[in-house]
Amino acid sequence: MNLVLTGSTSGIGWEKVKGLYPFFDKMILPVRNLEKAKSLLSKLPDQRKIHLVEMDLVDMKSVEKAAKQIASEFSKIDVLINNAGGMFPAGLRTKDGLDQSFAVNHLGPFILTKTLLPNLLAAKGKVIYVSSEAHRIAKVTKADLGLLRSPNTINAYSNVKLYNILMSRYLVNQYKNQGLTSYSLHPGAVRTAFGSDSGPVAKALIRATQLFFISPKKGAETSIFLATEPSEKLVNGAYYVRKKAKSPTKIGMDIELGKNLWNFSEEILIKILS
């Protein structure tokens, strides 16, 4: 079986690599820093399992290039885990003029997932999004889905984590009849470098509560569970917390909003990538 996992070289991503290593024939890892990845992954016993692809989620053309490379080299993708993400100050822009939280947490994974859809469908595969309980405080403005007018770090982050859930449910709604399954999850509050790029208020909030955070290994457990558990034992389209399906917010189940977000994302990409 073939796995694609983003954000594999630090925190819970590295724990997922170690935990999922025995289950997959190929681990396809899009990474921003190839040298760092090579050094870290040299600790694994069989390097033939590992396939590194250079990709930067801040740069949509980099994501498109990496996604097309993966799609051409691997006819079937059994599991795609959109694990990479981050919390960034509101107002921070990418070179494409996108809000950075929107780009890294939503639009980059959107390109990767959409490009790999034929490969996922060929394998009747799984798509897994690492979301967050932060989605419960999201305040979506339909006139600003791209978050260019987001008032603060927390608002932008909670919205993109809601987007993860919406995209997972949209995929199931569109492709379940072709065998595709998709899930989103909350990993828990994990003790990593997460939030180091966020604004001062978000940083202070993280520091104040970090004493209660769980280990990266513990935070990786639900992703590993969803990736390895047979699909028939899981609830397709569900949001998982501690390996159990849990109801997201009402807006997280809004199929129409998911469709609008999908179409909006496609429109942005036409402008950026054409």
Q: How far lies 39's CA from each of 33, 44, 47, in Å?
A: 10, 10, 11
| Inter-residue contact 190 to 136 (CB < 8 Å) | no
Q: Tell me which long-range contacts 64-71 makes (C-beta under 8 A, separation of at least 24).
A: 64/111, 64/115, 64/273, 66/30, 66/112, 67/111, 67/112, 67/115, 67/116, 68/115, 70/4, 70/28, 70/30, 70/115, 70/116, 70/119, 71/115, 71/116, 71/118, 71/119
| CB count in 10 Å sphere of residue 208 | 9
CA torsion through residues 229, 230, 233, 234, sign:
positive
User: Could you give the domains of the chain?
Assistant: 2-188+218-273 (3.40.50.720)
Q: Do the beta carbons of residue 161 and residue 135 sit within 8 Å?
A: yes
Q: Are strands 26-31 and 2-5 parallel, antiparallel or unpaired?
A: parallel
- pLDDT, tens digit only, all 274 positions of the chain: 999 999 999 889 999 999 999 999 999 999 999 999 999 999 898 889 999 999 999 999 999 999 999 999 999 999 999 999 999 998 899 999 999 999 999 999 999 999 999 999 999 999 999 999 999 999 999 899 999 999 899 999 999 999 999 999 999 999 999 999 999 999 987 654 544 454 564 444 444 344 446 788 899 999 999 999 999 999 999 999 999 999 999 999 999 999 999 999 999 999 998 7
> What is the pLDDT, as a whole number, of residue 195?
46
Closest listed residue to residue 225, CA positions, set 173, 268, 171, 187: 187
Q: In the structure encoding, which two tokens stand for residue 84, read together?
A: 């990479």
